[in-house]
Amino acid sequence: DSGVTQTPKHLITATGQRVTLRCSPRSGDLSVYWYQQSLDQGLQFLIQYYNGEERAKGNILERFSAQQFPDLHSELNLSSLELGDSALYFCASSYPGAGETQYFGPGTRLLVL
Amino acid sequence: DAKTTQPPSMDCAEGRAANLPCNHSTISGNEYVYWYRQIHSQGPQYIIHGLKNNETNEMASLIITEDRKSSTLILPHATLRDTAVYYCIVRVEGNDMRFGAGTRLTVKP
């Protein structure tokens, strides 16, 4: 158990819909990272937040957005969903220093029908 | 962040040491070497990391060559539960992780 929690574990929705994925980082961690893992793309970095502020962006679509709240939990919002958005979505958290090792949550499996 | 090269797959006999190689010939001085593994579709699990020196923890040992252009992850006594995809990543502290295809390690009885 990494200490990072993600909800929900599974999500099934239809094309065109909007969903919100939630991540609670390990106690004390300030950074949250979101990753997408699909069958054909592997693990892809989406976005990073540090203490409430966006720090880095990766391959995140304009239909996707995220935020980190004052209590440091984070939400990833996916809108106008397409079949290709079906994937595993992981968040990770880290604390500054000593390499800033990232610890990953168990993921949310999203299926868009 | 530097690119890494890993063999796509490896086998190991249960109880034997598993040695997983990684090449990172363009690594910069401030980049760490990280190893993670992913079992089935679970979240990637942190194994070990290092900058210059060899490192050991309860899970594995990390051997980094003196020129830092390659490294080896050693699982000293592999078990069936070590069957997973192993990712070698080089990264500047604080940056995101850039995952490649990794090495699929199969531990056989």
Residue carrying the six token digits 């079992």: B39
> Which phi and psi angles does B6 have, rounded to 5°?
-130, 150
Q: How close, in Å, is residue B13 to chain A by CA atoms?
A: 27
Residues (pLDDT < 50) of chain B are: none
With cut-offs at 50, 70 and 90, classify the pLDDT of residue A1: confident
The span from the CA of B43 to the CA of B47, in Å, is 13
Task: Please give the pLDDT value at position A98.
Answer: 62
Question: CB B49 to CB A4 under 8 A?
Answer: no
Task: Please give the pLDDT value at position A20.
Answer: 98
Task: Please give the pLDDT value at position B1.
Answer: 63
pLDDT in tens, A45-95: 999 999 999 999 998 999 999 999 999 999 999 999 999 999 999 999 998
Task: Please give the pLDDT value at position B2.
Answer: 63
- Indicate if the pLDDT at residue A97 is higher than 90: no
The span from the CA of B109 to the CA of B93, in Å, is 38
Task: Please give the pLDDT value at position A6.
Answer: 98
The span from the CA of B109 to the CA of A14, in Å, is 43
Structure tokens at B64: 């980094």
Q: How close, in Å, is residue A113 to chain B by CA atoms?
A: 20
Task: Please indicate if any CB of chain B lies within 8 Å of the CB of A4.
Answer: yes
